[in-house]
Amino acid sequence: MKAAPFDYVKAESLAHALEQLGQHGGDAKLIAGGQSLVPMMAMRLARPTWLIDINQLDNLKNIEVTPSAVKLGAGVRQRDLEFHPQLQSHLPLVQKGIKWVGHEQTRNRGTVGGSLVHADPSAELALAALVLNAEFTLQSQTDGTRKLKASEFFLGPMFTAVSDTEVLTDIAWPVWEGSQIGSEFEETAIRKGDFAMASAACQIQVNPQGTISRISFGMGGVDGKPLTFPELASQLTGQKLSSEMAKEVAHQAANECQPGSDMHASAAYRKYLAGILLGRALESAYAQACSAPHA
């Protein structure tokens, strides 16, 4: 199939893009990398009558690294994030998760903001954003600027809190302070680069005695949006993680999910798979944290 007819405008500035959105509202879509939007348009799952190209806006491509956060412009290419020299030390979970995003060719063009706004329930960056509780900055011509935490940003399948007249301008990813931090991202797909049947992400910090001082984890591809489990995480804080504990918490988390069934897997299998993946992620992240050098 081919896309339905549409008009195209290349935004000359962020103000110009906001002006166009204010004029066309729900009839318009922003495009930068186009790795998610263009296939949907080709299948006519998306039918914007206006396409606003923000690919040339350099002020949406900034990467700012501080000790407490990494601030990414929404237009940063996934590839630039993947190979950023400070990502391993500042955002190890994102560095591991982004390798699962699509294929090398799509990461060359796809943007961080585009993936997040697309809000596919199995999207790796969305899961990482929730686990780390990233902060999203939105801007509109009429309402100015507002900030949302990841828990407020993702509302459902392909559905976020971004209004028809807003642009996601940047995302601030918190950097965990201190030492002895471990992270892991697990995923299973039919083929590498395909949509995840299920995924799991975890980040853990321990004290020198191996007791968990901070932990966050979540699952993707098993509900209408990625999920985190703060109540279950709180049960592990102050504990030394055993294999049995990891499996039990992962099982409890999987039971809270409501996945769908399709030609690739039943809902029951996705629940089972998500539990296995989260158990692995918990054990791996904990082992990494315990073996990391002390401050």
The pLDDT tens digits for 12-29 are 999 999 999 999 978 889
CATH fold of the domain at 58-174: 3.30.465
Predicted local confidence at residue 251, as pLDDT: 96
Of 3.40.50.300, 3.30.390.50, 2.40.50.140, 3.40.190.10, the CATH number of 181-290 is 3.30.390.50
Q: Which residue has the tokens 């954003």?
A: 129
Predicted local confidence at residue 104, as pLDDT: 87
Q: Which of 142, 149, 140, 143 is nearest to 169 (CA)?
A: 140
Of 3.30.43.10, 3.40.640.10, 3.30.70.1060, 3.90.110.10, the CATH number of 7-53 is 3.30.43.10
- Which two structure tokens, joined as six digits, stand for 82? 């993947």
User: What's the rounded Cα separation, in Å, for the pair 134 and 175?
Assistant: 10
Over residues 218-235, the pLDDT tens digits come to: 999 999 999 999 999 999
Over residues 84-122, the pLDDT tens digits come to: 888 888 999 999 999 999 888 999 999 999 999 999 999
- Which two structure tokens, joined as six digits, stand for 54? 């923000």
What end-to-end distance do the CA atoms of the chain give, in Å? 57
208 near 113, Cβ under 8 Å?
Answer: no
- Cβ atoms within 10 A of the Cβ of 281, count? 29
- pLDDT > 70 in the chain, percent: 99
pTM over 0.75: yes
